[in-house]
Amino acid sequence: MTRLLAGIAAILGLSLFLTTPAAAQQVRHVQAELVTDSRGIAPGGTIHVALRQQIQKDWHTYWRNSGDSGEATRLDWTLPTGFTAGDIVWATPGRHPTGPLMNYGYQDEVLLPVAITAPKSARPGTMVTLKAAAAFLVCADVCVPEDADLSLTLPVTAGAPDPDTVWGPKIAKALADAPKPGGLDAVFSVKPAGIALAVTGAPLKGADLADAYFYPYEGNLIDHARPQPIERGPDGLTLTLAGAYGFQQGRSPAVLSGVLALGGKAYEITAKPGVPPPGAAGLGAPPVKATPGPAGGAGLGLVAAVAFAFVGGLILNLMPCVFPILAMKAASLAGHAHEHAAARRQGLAFLTGVLATFLSLAGLLIAVRAGGAAVGWGFQLQSPPVVAVLSLLMLAVALNLSGLFEVGASLQGVGQDIASKGGLVGAFFTGALAVVVAAPCTAPFMAPALGWALTQSPPAALAVFAGLGLGFAAPFTLAAFAPALLSRLPKPGGWMEGFRRLMSFPMYGAAAWLAWVLTVQAGSSALARVFAAAVVLALGAWTLGIAQRRHAAGGKPLAHALTGGVLTVLAFLACVWPSYAEVPAAGAEAGSDATAAIPYEAWSPDKVAAAQAAGKPVFVNFTAAWCVTCQVNEKVAFSTPQAAAAFKRSGAVYLKGDWTRKDAVIEAELAKHGRAGVPLYLVYGARGGEPQILPQLLTPAILAAAVEKAAKS
């Protein structure tokens, strides 16, 4: 039997790893290569190797700060032992407006040099190969992530190498034209009209300042899309910048660093808070607090944001994505209803699991955003491997609740030793799993709180997420401390095992839903892959169950336990490696339905602007396949005759922004309205102006009233 199971494990495991889609993508809009200013490299010497991007007409790539959306070009070097690579020397970017957004990047051709230094131990006469994995986002009306594995082979020369006659002069010019410190002094102060950035110094005297523009290194300090009015002075200039999230609530960073471009030249500047000198433009007034930031949660204070988060956490328990975990909570509560001391310990363990997971997710989210990635709440569900693993995890929980195998005293603490350590660990991980499953939902009050939190310092943001966790865990934890409530439940008995198994079916549903999300992200081949992994996991769970029953009967379960463990590990590994194809099946889209009552187009800022210019109302639906609230609204509100008739009468243009997969432009639009996740519903009036933000839970009446009102306003 053991050999048979081992053989099955080997065959199924091999098939899982061999039947996976290729991950490589062909570069289509950018021709990329490595070029060098020298025909070799000497021991201990330094040369410059540049990433050359030849960009298709009307497309662009991005600078180190991409602006309102986009993503900077990245280089990951693989060099011979002892060789080192410096940072990218960024060329001065250009401005690329896209609808209401302003992005910074490059068109046509750009060289991005990097200094490469050889060790002194490099042996003359040998050849070395320099490799770099380049990743860049290239955009026109749409954005396409592209990458390229590049390499360059050079000889190690005994003396100084000969210059490359083709690329040497071009790389030298790129280095000469790149922004550098120019002996300029800069200070900034926050005023009611915006951020006054005053720059003075000899290079500015008599220079043409008409086209001066400041490109900040950090992405969240200024409103990139707003103009930068210039005031000239005898010694320099003052730019008035519209403040963004980094300057909200009267806060001010220690420095404001970036590039000042004017007259075909560019200078690196670092401004500190201070009084602008009269020579900049005569604006010598002391700094004052910044004006309030954008609506949608950005104007909240810390206390209000934590309160909103707590209330949102309470309401989150009623959202559809949490229904499976409510089933797990119910099974756990029934199991220790008449053991009050144990119930309180279980309640506290559940609270600890919720808080630990909320704060861990928040910390990861803050760190990823600080690195420049465009992510928001629920970001982990934009990764196909994470969705696949969660689907298997839900299946494992369902199989456990069904009695196929046990985890300690079971994952929910149902069993003979209810106060055991295993039960407390189970309660902790039930809380952790509840947070993971709740991530696709955004309850009322949550959206403005999270939108505010992600524009603040890490301690303030973590305080808001802690408030959200406390609200989410409060009902179950308080119930565990309410003996009068628990005493109303039936006494422990045989009914508990049946109830526990009944509660497995919501978890099966959650596993199936996550498998569907995976098909939207990565196509039908991903579904076959996760189904195969699910079969292997179920076989592993069954084998573990046999081992547990043999152990209980006094037998030797080691072989079955090892086989079950190997199968389980194989199933989860198959969902993580190799990588999934990034292009989903044709036509897959969040909430797409061939019978949908309301025709729609994919959202873009340009389409909103075009519809407004034509005098039409616009309804924008930011959604995702993994957002259960979004999908419920699709069925309850959008797919109804009342909503369809209202859209037809009003002539409203219906646009969908699909955030199932990572999209920097959508993330920027969400942040613009103070949101960190979906759903977000915007309604623009026929006469233009700022949009109305609708509630996150919709009804046909709310939807119809909103579009009909927009047609008249």
State yes or no: pLDDT of 265 exceeds 80. yes
Whole-number pLDDT of residue 518? 78
Mean pLDDT score, 159-183 = 93
Mean pLDDT of the chain: 77
State yes or no: pLDDT of 384 exceeds 70. yes
Whole-number pLDDT of residue 335? 56
Do 63 and 104 form a contact (C-beta atoms < 8 A)? yes
Whole-number pLDDT of residue 94? 94
Whole-number pLDDT of residue 303? 84
State yes or no: pLDDT of 255 exceeds 90. no
**Three-state DSSP state, 14:** helix
Q: Which tokens is 642 given?
A: 């009342």
The C-alpha angle 74, 77, 81, rounded to 5 degrees, equals: 165
Most confident of 367-381, 461-475, 493-507: 461-475
In whole angstroms, how large is the CA radius of gyration of the chain? 29
Whole-number pLDDT of residue 603? 92
Give percent above pLDDT 70 in the chain: 74
Mean pLDDT score, 46-56 = 95
Mean pLDDT score, 351-380 = 71
Q: Which tokens is 654 given?
A: 């219906």
Do 647 and 618 form a contact (C-beta atoms < 8 A)? no
Q: What helix, strand, coil percent values describe the chain, rounded to 5? A: 40, 20, 35
Using alpha carbons, select from 286, 301, 107, 97 the residue that is nearest to residue 191. Answer: 286
Most confident of 465-474, 657-666, 673-682: 465-474
Does a cis peptide bond (omega within 30 degrees of 0) precede residue 584?
no
Whole-number pLDDT of residue 122? 94
Q: Residue 405 — φ and ψ, nearest 5°? A: -155, 170
Whole-number pLDDT of residue 15? 37
Mean pLDDT score, 265-275 = 90
Q: Which tokens is 562 given?
A: 């090892």
Whole-number pLDDT of residue 443? 57
Q: Which tokens is 22 given?
A: 């290729």
Mean pLDDT score, 487-515 = 72
Alpha-carbon distances of 234 from 182, 278, 281, 444, 593, rounded to whole Å: 18, 9, 8, 54, 64
Residue 98, strand partner residues: 101
Question: pLDDT tens, 202-222?
Answer: 888 877 787 899 999 988 788
Whole-number pLDDT of residue 482? 75
Whole-number pLDDT of residue 666? 85
SS3 readout for 167-209? CHHHHHHHHHHCCEECCCEEEEEEECCEEEEEEECHHHCCCCC
Mean pLDDT score, 134-144 = 86
Whole-number pLDDT of residue 390? 78
Whole-number pLDDT of residue 545? 83
Whole-number pLDDT of residue 338? 56
Mean pLDDT score, 497-526 = 77
Question: pLDDT tens, 618-663?
Answer: 999 998 877 777 887 888 889 888 999 999 999 999 999 988 877 7
Whole-number pLDDT of residue 5? 40
Mean pLDDT score, 385-404 = 81
Give percent above pLDDT 90 in the chain: 27
Alpha-carbon distances of 667 from 62, 372, 390, 608, rounded to whole Å: 16, 12, 24, 16
pLDDT band at 22; cut points 50, 70, 90 = very low
State yes or no: pLDDT of 125 exceeds 80. yes
Q: Name which residue leads in pLDDT, 12 or 115.
A: 115
The strand pair at 109-117 and 46-55 is best described as: antiparallel
> Would you tell me how many other CB atoms lie within 10 Å of the CB of residue 229?
12
pLDDT band at 569; cut points 50, 70, 90 = confident
Q: How far apart are CA 683 and CA 654, in angstroms?
A: 10
CB within 8 Å of 599: residues ≥ 6 apart? 654
State yes or no: pLDDT of 2 exceeds 50. no
Do 71 and 374 form a contact (C-beta atoms < 8 A)? yes
Domains and CATH numbers, the chain: 37-177 (2.60.40.1250), 181-281 (2.60.40), 302-383+407-506 (no CATH), 601-712 (3.40.30.10)
43-57, 88-102, 297-311, 364-378: which has the minimum mean pLDDT? 364-378
Mean pLDDT score, 461-490 = 78
Whole-number pLDDT of residue 109? 95
Whole-number pLDDT of residue 621? 95
Alpha helices by DSSP H, listed for 628-712, are 628-633, 641-650, 664-672, 700-712
Mean pLDDT score, 391-403 = 82
41-50, 105-114, 181-190, 250-259: which has the minimum mean pLDDT? 250-259
Q: Which amino acid is at 21?
A: P
Measured over the CA atoms of residue 257, residue 262, residue 264 and residue 265, the dihedral's sign is: negative
Q: Which tokens is 41 given?
A: 């490299």
Most confident of 306-320, 397-411, 426-440, 571-585: 306-320
Mean pLDDT score, 501-527 = 77
State yes or no: pLDDT of 568 exceeds 80. no
**Three-state DSSP state, 214:** strand
Do 321 and 436 form a contact (C-beta atoms < 8 A)? no
Mean pLDDT score, 303-315 = 84
The answer to pTM > 0.85 is no
Using alpha carbons, select from 344, 512, 469 the residue that is nearest to residue 413. Answer: 344
